[in-house]
Chain A
Amino acid sequence: MRVFQRTIAGIKFGILSPEQIREMSVAKIVTPDTYDEDGYPIEGGLMDPKLGVVDPGLRCKTCGARAGECPGHFGRIELARPVIHVGYAKHIARILKIICRECSRIKLPQEKIDEFRKRIKNARKIGKDEEVIIDELYNQAKQVKVCPHCGAEQGEIKFEKPTTYLENGRKLTPSDVRERLEKITDEDAEALGFDVEVARPEYMVLTVLPVPPVTVRPSIILESGERSEDDLTHKLVDIIRINQRLQENIEAGAPQIIIEDLWELLQYHVTTYFNNEVAGIPPARHRSGRPLKTLAQRLKGKEGRFRGNLSGKRVNFSARTVISPDPNISINEVGVPIEVARELTVPVRVTPYNIDYLRKLVKNGAHKYPGANYVERPDGSKIRLDKAKSVEKALKELDVGYIVHRHLQDGDIVLFNRQPSLHRMSIMAHEVRVMPGKTFRLNLCVCPPYNADFDGDEMNLHAIQGEEARAEARMLMRVQDQILSPRFGGPIIGGIHDHISGAYLFTKKETKFRREEALQLLYIAKMYDEIKKLLKEKSEDGYYTGKQIFSLILPEDLNLRYKAKVCKKCETCLEEDCPYDAFVVIKNGKLIKGVMDEKSFGAFAGELLDRIVKDYGTDKAREFLDKITRLVIAFISKRGFTTGIDDEDLPEEAKQRINEILTKAEEEVQNVIEMYEQGLLEPLPGRTLEETLEMRIMQILSEARDKSGQIANEYLEKIEERGKLNGARIMAISGARGSLLNLTQMAACVGQQSVRGERIKRGYSGRTLPHFKKGDIGAKAKGFVKSSYKSGLSPTEFFFHAMGGREGLVDTAVRTSQSGYMQRRLINALQDLKVEYDNTVRDARYVIVAFKHGEDGADPARTDWGKTVNVKKVIEKVISKRG
């Protein structure tokens, strides 16, 4: 079999000439009525059967094809009088201003016209914008008062939106306009930027209106059996009606005024038919008062044809449901509910090798799980396997060359996506794990790239239909291949929340396990090989340390040193001898010193993870993440981990000290205010006195908040040292969730509330709330919240806090829309750039944008945090081989 493939090489744009419109038209539309009493379409009406079919079962009167196959055919309306095409109204105005009213030549000497023509031709050849040249011509010619060709005196042309032209105050009819445009020579038209092959100036004034086929404007039948026509049909009815009346009046020899009125009405209808949002005229409305959606509205905007149907399309073979976590599946997998697996299918071609297997699936049919929904014959017709009878038939028929659309099964590769799809890691390929339940399940480590949580988030899943796509998904899009972000060349997939706090507790010095405990843990985590390894290790009085067990998942020849997140940034780092166990040392795959926390394997920051992906490959990295999730989650589930309001309990002494600090700060603020009032305050250079005062106050208060936080942290630490573990603090210092600032706000002091980066100042005249004296600019009166979240806020504090909080919400809302639009623009501007085989970066015009990507030709996703080669690491590695 020979396959002939035709591809579109290019698309040329032009304006339809009246002759072309007539030629492509299959029916002349004359009556405004659509259907007769029996419900049959009237010939010569807008639903003329020659225009194509939409009702199933009928055949097209023009091409004989059935609905769905017949693309539809154009008809036409012969306009009684010409009308202006709104889209070109402005263009026509420009032309009228620069051509002679008598001879229609451009009002410039012949040589100049020739020169402009040449320049335009040249500009087109090199792909430059010719608009600038035409503008120049326009500016030169519009001033000319006497035609250099025929010597006629020129009038002043005024354009009144949307479609009226005045010459010396007298209205030009579209017929007059058309006449002038017709007389423009081809050469002159070229100088005006026309491609006369496809667009003569007079085509911009319509004499015949093409009527789009019914397939473009299908009517819908309401439940009541009533037909409801498309907006375009409504508009065309209006046009025909007025056109008919105009024709009749002309033939009857009606007075000029009546004809002109009707003509103008026709112009209005044709105008709104093209664009119902033209400035200067009221939009045509539906009976209900809703403005009609006409041609321009169909194409325009986000839901328009271009952005809504051509750049982005709806798809089949997709599913959407709520997501929930499952630490027991691999990062590469996705848990798919059985209901979904039964609905989504994968096409499999029947071969002698798989026919038995596929027969089993077909036998199960559409309803029993590992089954199939359709059997497709080589000719493309399908048998749906939802009934016992059809299953039987399909079984009998099934043969090599057929295609079985079988249910989604374990191991199938699918695409998984969460909106907003801000980067390429928002769509990744996962392997299917069919499981009970009604949600998609995913490993927690892949939350960061999707930016997903489980408070009701939903995600989409797409079943891949072709081998080519499947291969690409598996080779390029799998989760494990996306661990390194192309944004900065570090890991974007990694541990979050409980992984981090769990690993922190697990690898702390004190954490020890009895042999049974350790083995149980490894067994729960399904780390069977590691069990053997552990048994070979020495235990300390029958105890294994957390570090020892953790080392089991590290590659055996790994050597690494770095500072952990818990590092207190002492002045001189003691490195290995860090008293807080904050310096991580891994020697030959053994965790010797240091705790595991966010800096180890957290998303965005994990150094250990970073090292594993880069040096050992993505397979090892996936394994590492899978194991660490299972191990650490098993551990923390067994051990238990919680946080509560008592995590912020402070002893009386601490509370007193905090109160002292805050009171002192308030006093200090008062002092500064007094200084200001006495005129003793020195303004900062370039600032007014008031600004200086505000800055001083803000500084004092923020220092006070920080200090109170430090005190709180000090005491919390002390309590922890006495053996009582503090969940909130552990989360904050290990980087699992929250920060020390959050702790400060809960335990010590919430601090200054701000709106627009300033202390709160709006409200009543001279004060923020009626609770304060007028002119009071002290700490309390301007939104300083002295209380902590735990102790509770006073009514005024609460109100200020709500003000600050509201600003935050508004800010986020505004930001998402702004950054979304910026990203759309960036993508649109850069999307055509690609790397060529010669390593240059070029755009769609084939213009070189960069000789080497990023000046060194590197792919950021393959760099080490932006470095093409980490020379230090290479040398370290070579030297370490010396032994």
Chain B
Amino acid sequence: MAKKKMLSEKEKIMILEKEIKDRIPLSLYEELKDEVLKVDLTEDELKEVIKEVKKRYEFAIVEPGEAVGIVAAQSIGEPSTQMTMRTFHYAGVAELNVTLGLPRIIEIVDARKEPSTPMMTIYLEPEYAKDREKAKEIAKKLEMLTIGDIVERTEIDMIDSKVIFYLDKREMERREISVEDVVKKIKIKAEKEYDEDKIIVKAKEPSLRELRRVREKVLSTYIRGVKNIKRVVVRREGDEYVIYTEGSNLKDVLKMEGVDYTRTKTNDIHEIEKVFGIEAARNAIINEIIDTLEEQGLTVDIRHIMLVADMMTVDGEVKAIGRHGVSGEKASVLARAAFEITIDNLLKASVKGEVDELNGIIENVIVGKPIKLGTGMVELLMKKEYEQMRGA
């Protein structure tokens, strides 16, 4: 009757480790362990659970030959017809505009050099995260400020050959910056005058072109902040303050004091690749696609997205899905010709004397051979002797 006894925690783990640990993925094992520890089980019951889990896991394994690539492409492509085209504001952060929906997915798959709306989510280290003032302090340091941001309008005075910058006092107050600070930053060698609400810069030579040049130069003068970070919003999330930014500069932001570099992220995949490497870029692709799909209320299995990300990153750099990336670098001439830029590919192949080995799918469709996916993968041959024996 010992078998009827409920197992202790230790006994359970022992049985689990012995029976199943190496046979299933770690994540599944951990889940199984957690769930098993939550309930009372006898040894027989536990063994039955283990047996069933093993059985179900084995059932769930992909069969050899499965066209996983096509299924993944379809699983992402099919729901994309249902996505919106518009740029919505970010769920929760009404202050920032972020590209979402189909345009965002296309942008990720295209591996564009820069997202149309670069954005960062900056988490802070504990001593800064809980304190609103300290978080704001960091936010202030982050935001890139140019003189153009605090100038309301400009005036060009041709008679005295000078440019007048009228300052936006409200904006200056908000950004806590004084006229003196601003003037100090103007590096142009020219006569400068200023008072409460305007700065006057005199041009060296009295030409309209020179005046305009001065104006542009002054307006784009950098005052403070991190390059490319255009707008900063501090929000409370749970029990901490998080900074959202428009514009992205991962490298510089991570170096800042108080920034939790383990959690801070950006939506610029190439930047992640540059700073953290290809594996991080792969994860970024997966996360970005998942987030976009989820926001649209579409469920797509993560495995499909992983495969797309894997394909984009196998060769060690982020490559686009399309003629400039994955498809353009296929080994097969026919496959490339059948996709886009047909003529050029054929002509180039002829110069190089390329050989199409007919390993892929379309090549075989083109020449009329069975494709090597799924049931076409099986290569069973009858032995000659056996055939002869049968014939005799």
Contacts and interface: CB of A to CB of B under 8 A. Distances in A.
A826 B77 contact: yes
Nearest to B36: A875
A13 B307 contact: no
B347 A87 contact: yes
A633 to B, nearest CB: 28
Contacts of B39: 875, 879
Given A13-B333, A423-B74, A757-B87, A863 B60 contact: yes
A855 interface: yes
A356 interface: no
Nearest to B84: A811
A686 interface: yes
B264 interface: no
A204 B308 CA distance: 40
A296 interface: yes
A129 B77 contact: no
B158 interface: no
B367 interface: yes
B322 to A, nearest CB: 5
Interface in B46-95: 48-49, 52-53, 56-57, 59-81, 83-88, 94-95
Contacts of B177: none
B129 interface: no
A850 B329 CA distance: 19
Nearest to A469: B375
Contacts, number: 342
Nearest to B360: A844
A849 B314 CA distance: 6
A66 B38 CA distance: 81
Contact of B322 (A199, A687, A829): A829
Contact of B360 (A198, A822, A832): A832
B343 to A, nearest CB: 5
Interface in A288-335: 296, 299-301, 304, 306-307, 310-311
Interface stretch (A143-151, A380-388, A485-493): A485-493
Contacts of B352: 13, 130, 193-195, 199
A835 B70 CA distance: 12
A818 B106 contact: yes
Contact of B45 (A311, A818, A854, A879): A879
A613 B63 CA distance: 19
Interface stretch (B114-122, B218-226, B271-279, B298-306): B298-306
Given A10-B358, A199-B351, A856 B86 contact: no
B310 interface: yes
Contacts of B351: 15, 88, 91, 193-195, 199, 204
B372 A834 contact: yes
Nearest to B300: A487
Interface in B17-55: 24-25, 27-28, 31-32, 35-36, 39, 41, 45, 48-49, 52-53
Nearest to A197: B353
B77 A472 contact: no
Contacts of A849: 307, 310-311, 314
B370 to A, nearest CB: 10
A811 B308 CA distance: 26
A60 to B, nearest CB: 24
A58 B303 CA distance: 60
A878 B339 contact: no
A857 interface: yes
A811 B59 contact: no
A259 B105 CA distance: 58
B65 A834 contact: yes
A313 B322 CA distance: 23
B62 A835 contact: yes
A170 B342 CA distance: 34
A847 interface: yes
B373 interface: yes
Interface in A732-787: 756-757
A259 B85 CA distance: 59
Interface string A819-848: 110110111111111111101010111110
B60 A868 contact: yes
Nearest to A201: B351
B362 interface: yes
B81 A850 contact: no
B367 A857 contact: no
Contact of B74 (A695, A827, A854): A827
B75 A832 contact: no
B338 interface: yes
B330 interface: yes
A837 B62 CA distance: 10
Contacts of B182: none
Contacts of A306: 334, 337-338, 342, 366
A684 interface: yes
B80 A819 contact: yes
Contact of B68 (A195, A815, A841, A863): A841
A112 interface: no
B53 A869 contact: yes
A871 B53 contact: yes
A850 B311 CA distance: 9
B256 interface: no
Contacts of B74: 422-424, 487, 823, 827
A841 B308 CA distance: 12
B318 interface: no
A570 interface: no
B338 A847 contact: no
Contacts of A87: 343-344, 347
Interface string A155-188: 0000000000000000000000000000000000
Contacts of B27: 856
A878 B78 CA distance: 38
Nearest to B387: A2
A8 interface: yes
A197 B355 CA distance: 13
Interface string A1-21: 000000111111111000000
B80 A822 contact: yes
Nearest to A295: B343
B132 interface: no
B354 interface: yes
Given A198-B353, A487-B300, A826-B109, A859 B359 contact: no
Contacts of A424: 70-71, 74
Contacts of B95: 684-687
Contacts of A129: 329
A639 to B, nearest CB: 33
A685 B326 contact: no
Given A822-B105, A858-B61, A871 B31 contact: yes
A877 B52 CA distance: 10
A818 B102 contact: yes
Contacts of B31: 871
B67 A686 contact: no
B214 to A, nearest CB: 27
A299 B331 CA distance: 20
A868 B358 contact: no
B233 interface: yes
A871 B32 contact: yes
Residue with the greatest number of chain B CB neighbours at <10 A, chosen from A7, A91, A476, A865 = A7
A488 B68 CA distance: 14
A686 B326 CA distance: 40
A686 B337 contact: no
Residue with the greatest number of chain B CB neighbours at <10 A, chosen from A197, A299, A830, A844 = A830
Closest 9 CB pairs of A and B: A195-B353, A854-B303, A833-B69, A823-B77, A830-B69, A844-B360, A826-B73, A860-B301, A829-B326
9 contacts: A311-B362, A424-B70, A685-B95, A822-B102, A823-B80, A830-B307, A837-B64, A859-B61, A869-B32
Given A14-B353, A868-B57, 16 more contacts: A9-B358, A10-B355, A476-B374, A487-B299, A815-B83, A819-B83, A823-B78, A827-B74, A829-B73, A832-B69, A833-B67, A837-B64, A855-B25, A856-B25, A871-B36, A879-B39
